[in-house]
């Protein structure tokens, strides 16, 4: 049930050149940003495969055949019990084998193998509700939550983000500021207590902040569109391998997505046609490709010896 081809996932993968970065993009059950998510990886030079969630759940596709696992935005299961809740619940409880193994077990293994997980918007909500973010305690238990915006409404508007210099995730390498659209009704990060807040800050897990015109983190609406704690738009886990954010970098793949593109291109006709959001995908693809190269070199070396 691979969405973007009539063939099976194994077939698609067999066409993948050795060393290519392989991104698995989940879809189904109300996820709806899978196409632009996959396009982002392709534009960044990776192989992207869109797979229905049930194919993974039922074992027809293994996440371990991929380098980066992606949870796109949308309204998984309608978000009726709170954003991302039902999907997180499925990952945690639905057994995929008689041995009682769950997909969460697989994801833990995937991360332990040094691989990467990215969640955007609803995907970020899934990772938070599951406890993969921020995962301070390392036991994948929910520590913070994402809930209704302070404004009480869903909104689509563009915001400016700053990358926390203390963040070490390869997704954000070399990025200082980023303009992106937010499109959500439940993006307000709530951290339950000061200790958790301090721990997140100390580890630099609050990797993205909503900022004002001066470049300072802000709680002022609508610059901070949801009233998030720590003015926080995105989190990583302590390894930096798991990254989630409310805004949509995959909706800014071309310069022409920006609301002010026409004036900006008049000012600067030679500017890149790429959107700023693409850099996140280029970063992780480059990082994984480099790892592959290093690994391949090591293997080659080992073979020679």
Partner 1 sequence: MSDTTIQSTHTIQLTLKPGQHDGDGQRVAEAAARHLGLRTGRVRSAALYTVRYPLSETQLRDFATRCLADPVLHDVRLNELTGAEGYATYILVARRPGVTDDEGTSAQNALADLLNEPLDVHTQHIFSKKLYLLENDLPETNLRRIAEELLGNKLINWLEVGRVADGIRDYTPRPGGGAEAITEVVSLTGLSDAELLQLSKDNIYALNLEEMRAVRDYFAAADTQAERKAAGLPADPTDCELEIIAQTWSEHCKHKEFAAVINYKDTETGEEKQIDSLFKTYIKNATSEVDRQLRANGNDWLIKVFSDNAGAVRINPDSLFVWKVETHNSPSAIDPYGGAITGILGNNRDPLATGIGGARLLFNTNVLCFGNPEFDGQLLTGQLHPRRILEGVRKGIEDGGNKSGVPTVNGAIVFDDRYAGKPLVYCGTGAVMPMQFAGLDSWEKKIDAGDRIIMAGGRVGKDGIHGATFSSIELDETAPATAVQIGSPITQKLAMDFLLLAARRGLLKCSTDNGAGGLSSSVGELAGISGGAVVELERVPLKYPGLRPWEIFVSESQERFTLVVEPGKMAELLALGQEMEVELTDIGFFTADGFLDVRFDGAPVARLNMEFLHEGVPRKTLEAEWTKPATAEPQIPAATDYTETLAQLLGSLNICSRESVIRQYDHEVKGRTIVKPLMGATGQAPQDAAVVRFNFESWEGVAVSNGILPRYGDLDAYDMSAGSFDEAVRQIIAVGGKLPNLTPGDNIFWSVNDNFCVPDSVYDPASNPDGKQKLAKLVRMCEALRDATAAYCIPLTSGKDSMKNDFKADGVKISVPPTVLYSMTAKMEDVRRAITSDFKQADDVVYLLGETHDELGGSEFYALHGQLGANVPKVDFAKAKALYTLIGQANDQNLIQSCHDLSDGGLAVALAETTFGYGYGAEIELPATGLPLATQLFSESHSRFVATVAPEDVVAFEQLLGERATRLGRVTADSKLTVRHAGQTVIAADSASLRTAWTNGPVNNLLGVVSNYNLSHSNSL
Between residue 256 and residue 285, which ones bind partner 1 under the rule CB under 8 A? 256-257, 259-263, 266-267, 273
Taking a C-beta distance cutoff of 8 angstroms, is the pair 61, 55 a contact?
yes
Q: Which of 52, 148, 184, 248 is catalytic?
A: 248
**207 among known catalytic residues:** no
State in angstroms the smallest separation of the CB of 125 from partner 1: 11
**121 among known catalytic residues:** yes
Nearer to partner 1, 152 or 270 (CB): 152
Give the phi and the psi of residue 283 in degrees, each rounded to 5. Answer: -60, -50
**276 among known catalytic residues:** no
Query: Within 13 Å and on the Cβ side, how many CA atoms surround 168?
Result: 9
| Angle between helices 122-130 and 85-93 in degrees, nearest 10 | 50
Chosen residue from 29, 173, 197, 274 binding partner 1 by CB under 8 A: 29
State in angstroms the smallest separation of the CB of 44 from partner 1: 12
Q: How far is CA 188 from CA 120, 157, 195, 242, in A?
A: 14, 15, 19, 19
Binders of partner 1 among 132-191, rule CB under 8 A? 142, 144-145, 147-148, 150-158, 181, 183, 190
Query: Within 13 Å and on the Cβ side, how many CA atoms surround 275?
Result: 25
| 286 binds partner 1 per the rule CB under 8 A | no
Binders of partner 1 among 99-128, rule CB under 8 A? none
Taking a C-beta distance cutoff of 8 angstroms, is the pair 23, 48 a contact?
yes
Q: Which of 34, 250, 258, 287 is catalytic?
A: 250
Catalytic machinery residues: 121, 248, 250
């Amino acid at each position: 049930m691979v969405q973007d081809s009539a063939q099976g996932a194994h077939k698609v993968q067999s066409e993948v050149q050795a060393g290519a970065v392989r991104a698995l993009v989940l879809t189904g059950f109300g996820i709806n940003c899978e196409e632009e998510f996959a396009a982002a990886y392709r534009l960044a030079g990776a192989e992207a495969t869109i797979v229905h969630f049930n194919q993974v759940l039922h074992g027809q596709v293994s996440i371990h055949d991929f380098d980066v696992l992606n949870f796109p935005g949308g309204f998984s299961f309608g978000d009726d019990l709170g954003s991302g809740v039902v999907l997180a619940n499925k990952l945690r409880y639905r057994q995929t084998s008689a041995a009682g193994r769950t997909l969460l077990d697989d994801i833990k293994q995937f991360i332990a193998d040094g691989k990467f997980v990215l969640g955007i918007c609803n995907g970020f909500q899934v990772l938070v509700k599951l406890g993969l973010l921020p995962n301070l305690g390392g036991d994948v238990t929910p520590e913070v939550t994402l809930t209704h915006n302070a404004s009480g409404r869903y909104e689509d508007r563009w915001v400016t983000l700053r990358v926390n210099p203390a963040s070490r995730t390869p997704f954000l390498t070399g990025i200082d500021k980023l303009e992106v659209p937010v499109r959500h009704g439940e993006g307000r990060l709530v951290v339950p207590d000061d200790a958790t807040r301090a721990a997140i800050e100390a580890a630099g897990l609050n990797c993205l902040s909503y900022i004002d015109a001066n470049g300072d983190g802000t709680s002022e609406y609508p610059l901070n569109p949801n009233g998030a704690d720590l003015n926080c738009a995105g989190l990583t886990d302590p390894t930096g391998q798991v990254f989630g954010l409310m805004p949509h970098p995959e909706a800014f793949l071309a310069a022409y997505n920006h609301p002010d593109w026409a004036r900006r291109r008049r000012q600067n006709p030679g500017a890149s046609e790429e959107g700023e959001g693409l850099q996140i995908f280029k970063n992780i693809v480059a990082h994984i490709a480099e790892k592959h190269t290093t690994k391949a070199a090591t293997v080659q070396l080992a073979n020679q010896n």
